[in-house]
Structure 1
């Protein structure tokens, strides 16, 4: 008889051979990582597109030039969310040393996460409809706004003819995508998968909706200090845009071509709170199911976990719940961090950005500090890294993601 939480199969370790990131911390993996290590405050400021709305700041990426990143002729046909995804994918493939011109595209899949899709295009074209009439609405509206198109455009760019889709599990979307991508490798559907998440919806309608819910920080006078995960003074999240793409390969394929394995995706678990549309289960009962399932899938014990890259949104309810969850399942030993103190909350892309950061922690033995953690909430009761990065050997790490609708997704990553 199988013991509780034991894996139903031998652990499968998907090789992470490439990383690409475009975040408010920097355009590219290296500048983003440098920003996470510096942790000098949230990369937030006034967002031009939000001028005139009460919540007018966020973590946008002013240094991102779509024409330079994807080409001028291509950029005008893509929503910003797809532009970010293409830029991150290009870096990830170069990092992996893969040449799409030589691969068997039928064995290459694409799975991205996005919570909202091409909302910026939708809002812009709706304004045109109201002001100038239906005949002025762009013929590209549908392929720009549809949530699946970021994955579709990656497939077109690189001739990836394997399974192709987008996962939409709110703020857990990027983590869900990576977990599903690993399963596609395990079941033999693909040899390579481009996976991760993308989001670009710093627009008046979406941000006003979050503001009206009371989910956002109201620190307009100090936006760089507004995202403060696990801090006693936290008052809401700071919205962000961004993308991260990971190249996952079957282990034998990575070995055969002598690829550098930056880390391994070794476990995945998912669950639902079945509790509330927007608030987490205070005790994290559903989230615990996902965390224990991920550990079992990886063949790991709670005592094996050295590091947790927390969801850590800087909202009062999420951080309190996550603190209880981690203490209950993993204890107080793991070194915990939340990169949202720097990047803000990139919604459907957040889990992918955090998985990429976790892979770098495993590879380099450095846990980034949690920015703006000036007065740790005593009720959290965890070893949250703050003020300075911490050098420590990490063999097993967990990356948590939770989203509206009670969506929970957890990854276990291990050293390559």
Structure 2
């Protein structure tokens, strides 16, 4: 059963809000990522998807990202006029405010004093959900989901479950993550960080760029007035092949995509665009291209947007679903879809990878999010006329 994504608040390295995000995708030849030597322990410069309005020195950056996203959706939420106890919050995250802890510990070691603003509770994974609920006076179910890079896609599926179980009338769902040393150096220990801007599906790809951001949707069973997008289906799998590496044959990814299509009650040939997980690591791109080929063949346009936003980890699923949402709802202005320049790796599975500007009216999009432990999620968004 479809539910409605009535509005989107989004902030990332692409900018803040709908128009800045669209403009950055349309002019993606300009670099949206930022080089910094403040996060890698080795002190070397790495590219990250930093929200430029929130410098690394800013306090409580995770909450600031949430504030940026909430400000965009509050007018829509107010139109629903639902009781506070019928508003739920489900948020995906993988880091919460870990960077606050990193910096505060450094200050404590130097001065013996913890910063005045620092609270250990801000590092709790549920803290972003509690913060949103407090800001909105939301009294319904409130929790975070943390399954690494599939967190916020799972949050969207979980939000729909709350609606269909009549536990809420509106759910604020999505994800947020902020930059920190833990993730940059953690992925570097896996030899997965690229010091250059990442190149998904490219022959010369060498790893990911960590990013940050927030994307929050107003999800409901009731369709808001005006044009909106339906959340049509979600598919999940857990191949448990390895603690950090995906199943090489792409079987887990394939299961998630097929489950999402079944849930949405559409066939593979109905999908107009696939936003791939596309991390630009050797193993992810190899397995994902195989899986996409088996499900969709070589006909459905595919691209990754991580060279523009960075890999935003727990927020990636929602931000990339947000890019699909914008591409669907902005059909009247025909925004360019993300595309991946560079030479496609010929050893990858055959997919219709977008390598140049591409404009096409869309009706259905599928977005992939794959995580550690083989925790795979695919979601389907679309434009439908049905009134619920």
Pair in the same fold by TM > 0.5: yes
Quote the Cα distance in structure 2 between the aligned partners of 1:92 and 1:330: 34
Quote the Cα distance in structure 2 between the aligned partners of 1:245 and 1:270: 20
In structure 1, the partner of 2:71 is 90
Change (3 A) 1:136 1:307: closer
Change (3 A) 1:48 1:235: closer
In structure 2, the partner of 1:408 is 376
In structure 2, the partner of 1:33 is 22
Quote the Cα distance in structure 2 between the aligned partners of 1:27 and 1:374: 27
Residue of structure 2 aligned with 1:305, choices 255, 271, 275: 271
Residue 263 of structure 1: CA displacement?
0.9
Residue 208 of structure 1: CA displacement?
1.9
Q: Is the 8 A contact 2:339 2:354 kept in 1?
A: no
What runs of 5+ residues in structure 2 fail to find an aligned partner?
none
Q: Is the 8 A contact 2:46 2:195 kept in 1?
A: no
The DSSP-based 3-state class of the residue aligned with 2:373 is coil
Give yes or no for the alignment of 1:233 onto 2:204: yes
Q: Is the 8 A contact 2:107 2:114 kept in 1?
A: yes
Residue of structure 1 aligned with 2:247, choices 265, 281, 293: 281
In structure 1, the partner of 2:324 is 358
Q: Is the 8 A contact 1:197 1:244 kept in 2?
A: yes
Quote the Cα distance in structure 1 between the aligned partners of 2:299 and 2:250: 19
Residue 56 of structure 1: CA displacement?
3.3
Q: Give 1:260-299 correspondences, 5 Å limit.
A: 260-299=226-265
Give yes or no for the alignment of 1:329 onto 2:295: yes
Residue of structure 1 aligned with 2:109, choices 130, 135, 140: 130
Quote the Cα distance in structure 1 between the aligned partners of 2:339 and 2:315: 19
Q: Is the 8 A contact 1:21 1:244 kept in 2?
A: yes
Quote the Cα distance in structure 2 between the aligned partners of 1:334 and 1:261: 25
Q: Is the 8 A contact 1:53 1:204 kept in 2?
A: no
Query: Over the residues paired in the alignment, what is the CA RMSD in angstroms?
Result: 2.2
Q: Is the 8 A contact 2:274 2:303 kept in 1?
A: yes
Quote the Cα distance in structure 1 between the aligned partners of 2:337 and 2:6: 25
Greater shift, 358-367 or 343-352, is seen at 358-367
Residue of structure 2 aligned with 1:399, choices 367, 379, 388: 367
Quote the Cα distance in structure 2 between the aligned partners of 1:93 and 1:22: 15
Deviations 1:51-73 (A, max 9, x none): 7623533111122489xxxxxxx
Greater shift, 41-50 or 155-164, is seen at 41-50
Residue 50 of structure 1: CA displacement?
2.6
TM-score (norm 2): 0.91
What runs of 5+ residues in structure 1 fail to find an aligned partner?
1-11, 67-74, 220-225
Q: Give 1:168-317 correspondences, 5 Å limit.
A: 168-201=146-179, 203-219=180-196, 226-250=197-221, 253-254=222-223, 258-317=224-283
In structure 1, the partner of 2:44 is 54
TM-score (norm 1): 0.86
The size of the alignment, in residue pairs, is 380
Residue 117 of structure 1: CA displacement?
1.5
